């Protein structure tokens, strides 16, 4: 962090001292606090401060995705710090951009919160947004803040295809192989730990608090010839089910190709849970799953876990139907 950035952060922290709320700081005062001194990548042609941002689109096309995170559904402030929530909000959106084979370029943030929310908490949240944006090398280019009865964060993410066709969910063909890149089951294990009132082991707990999607794996899969791809947000089997439905194929997952990390084995033993179920059905890790022609040399970090089958065979595990819930679904 350079001297100017450190000075700006000190100013933001000082402004939030004394328990000031967003109401006492005011909308525009709060916007100034959270935007001043934030650096932007070269893709941001005009950042926060005007009616809209201007972002470079070298490809001539823009990939767009949005997600809404609601307190009590997607995060809890007694389980996570505001900075961790900010990181998670950006990560879950940028994973969708990567899943299209695109390079993320920028995010726009909508924040709704009660008027008695501490300004310091909002500053911390934006520090998390900015930290994850910096990790992904994207710009935090603008947004909006409004009053609401509960904490809600909405992120719109943009990306660049680099001249390639988007990798959709509908391109898988029988004979393709199924592969994943990124962690599976860690966030679900963390949720189970937090739900029991524990705060360790930190590795799995932090996986629930904020995921670490493999952003570069999406473009590398596209370059390697991926035929279909999806972000694993609701559970591996559930999301592969979406891909299979869009592509009108079946998919068989091989559990012998899904190693169970020692940490998940230990947590499963402590909680009396099957870690393989977390791997197959746990969401919020935001790994990427893709299909590739069988002759493809998989890019670094990708691991073959299954095969694409003929239509009407559904999603199977080791050749048999999976009889339990396959993942998360809202309103169910």
pLDDT at site 331: 40
330 is in an annotated binding site: no
CATH code, 41-160: 3.30.1330.10
Q: Which residues of 94-110 are buried (b: 16+ CB within 10 A; e: fewer)?
A: bbbbbbbbbbbbbbbbb
- Per-residue pLDDT, averaged over 306-317, amounts to 93
pLDDT at site 273: 96
51 is in an annotated binding site: yes
Average pLDDT, the chain: 89
- Per-residue pLDDT, averaged over 118-140, amounts to 94
More confident residue, 24 or 158: 158
The answer on pLDDT for 191 being more than 90 is: yes
Secondary structure of residue 30 in the 3-state scheme: helix
pLDDT at site 11: 44
Secondary structure of residue 285 in the 3-state scheme: coil
pLDDT at site 29: 61
66 is in an annotated binding site: yes
- Per-residue pLDDT, averaged over 121-140, amounts to 94
Instruction: Report yes or no: 325 and 281 within 8 Å, Cβ to Cβ.
Output: yes
How far, in Å, CA of 175 to CA of 126, rounded?
Answer: 45
The answer on pLDDT for 16 being more than 60 is: no
78 is in an annotated binding site: no
pLDDT at site 47: 76
39 is in an annotated binding site: no
The count of other CB atoms within 10 Å of the CB of residue 26 is 13
How far, in Å, CA of 244 to CA of 238, rounded?
Answer: 10
Tokens of 148: 């609401």
More confident residue, 312 or 101: 101
Using one digit for the tens of pLDDT, what is the confidence trace for 154-172?
A: 999 999 999 999 999 999 9
Determine how β-strand 228-232 pairs with β-strand 103-113.
unpaired
For 107, residues 6+ apart whose C-beta sits below 8 A from its C-beta are 90, 93, 94, 129, 133, 138, 139, 140, 141, 155, 156, 157, 158
Quick one: the chain helix, strand, coil %, rounded to 5?
35, 25, 40
231 is in an annotated binding site: yes
The answer on pLDDT for 12 being more than 60 is: no
Give 88's pLDDT tier (boundaries 50, 70, 90): very high
Element (H, E) at 5: helix 3-15
- Per-residue pLDDT, averaged over 259-287, amounts to 96
**41-160 and 177-321 share one fold:** no
Tokens of 248: 């009108």
233 is in an annotated binding site: yes
Using one digit for the tens of pLDDT, what is the confidence trace for 231-240?
A: 999 999 999 9
Architecture of domain 177-321: Alpha-Beta Complex (3.90)
Instruction: Report yes or no: 215 and 136 within 8 Å, Cβ to Cβ.
Output: yes
Work out the angle between the directed axes of helices 82-98 and 202-209 (0-180°, nearest 10).
70
More confident residue, 294 or 56: 294
154 is in an annotated binding site: no
pLDDT at site 27: 59
pLDDT at site 5: 45
96 is in an annotated binding site: yes
The answer on pLDDT for 3 being more than 60 is: no
The answer on pLDDT for 2 being more than 50 is: no
More confident residue, 113 or 9: 113
How far, in Å, CA of 225 to CA of 291, rounded?
Answer: 9
- Per-residue pLDDT, averaged over 290-307, amounts to 98
239 is in an annotated binding site: no
pLDDT at site 82: 96
How far, in Å, CA of 85 to CA of 72, rounded?
Answer: 12
Strands lying side by side in the sheet with 152-160? 63-70, 152-160, 103-113, 139-147
Instruction: Report yes or no: 157 and 62 within 8 Å, Cβ to Cβ.
Output: no
pLDDT at site 50: 73
Q: Domain segments of the chain: what residues?
A: 41-160, 177-321
Using one digit for the tens of pLDDT, what is the confidence trace for 50-85?
A: 767 788 888 889 999 999 999 998 999 999 999 999
How far, in Å, CA of 7 to CA of 148, rounded?
Answer: 31
Instruction: Report yes or no: 53 and 105 within 8 Å, Cβ to Cβ.
Output: no
More confident residue, 175 or 4: 175
pLDDT at site 4: 43
pLDDT at site 197: 94
């Amino acid at each position: 962090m350079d001297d100017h950035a450190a000075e700006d952060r000190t100013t933001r922290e000082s402004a939030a001292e004394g328990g000031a709320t967003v109401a006492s700081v005011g909308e525009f005062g709060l916007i100034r606090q959270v935007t001043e001194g934030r650096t932007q990548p070269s893709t941001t042609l005009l950042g926060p401060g005007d009616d809209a941002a201007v972002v470079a689109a070298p490809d001539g096309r823009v990939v767009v995705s949005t997600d809404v995170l609601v307190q009590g559904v997607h995060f809890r402030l007694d389980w996570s710090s505001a900075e961790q929530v900010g990181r998670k909000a950006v990560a879950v959106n940028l994973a969708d951009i990567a899943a299209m084979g695109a390079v993320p370029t920028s995010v726009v943030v909508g924040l709704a919160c009660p008027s008695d929310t501490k300004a310091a908490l909002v500053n911390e949240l934006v520090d998390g947004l900015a930290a994850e944006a910096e990790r992904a090398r994207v710009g935090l280019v603008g947004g909006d803040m409004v009053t609401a009865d509960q904490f809600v964060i909405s992120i719109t993410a943009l990306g660049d295809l680099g001249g390639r066709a988007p990798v959709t969910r509908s391109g898988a063909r029988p004979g393709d192989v199924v592969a994943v890149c990124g962690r599976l089951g860690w966030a679900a294990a963390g949720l189970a730990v937090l739900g029991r009132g524990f705060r360790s082991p930190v590795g799995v707990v932090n996986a629930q608090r904020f995921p670490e999607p493999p952003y570069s794996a999406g473009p590398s899969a596209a370059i390697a010839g991926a035929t279909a791809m999806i972000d694993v947000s609701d559970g591996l089997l559930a999301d592969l089910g979406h891909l299979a439905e869009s592509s009108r194929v079946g998919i068989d997952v091989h559990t012998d190709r899904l190693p169970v990390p020692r940490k998940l084995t230990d947590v499963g033993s402590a909680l009396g849970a099957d870690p393989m179920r977390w791997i197959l059905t746990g969401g919020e890790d935001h790994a990427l799953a893709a299909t590739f022609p069988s002759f493809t040399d998989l890019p670094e970090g990708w691991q073959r876990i299954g095969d694409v089958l003929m239509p009407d065979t559904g999603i199977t595990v080791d050749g048999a139907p999976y009889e339990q819930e396959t993942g998360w679904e809202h309103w169910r």
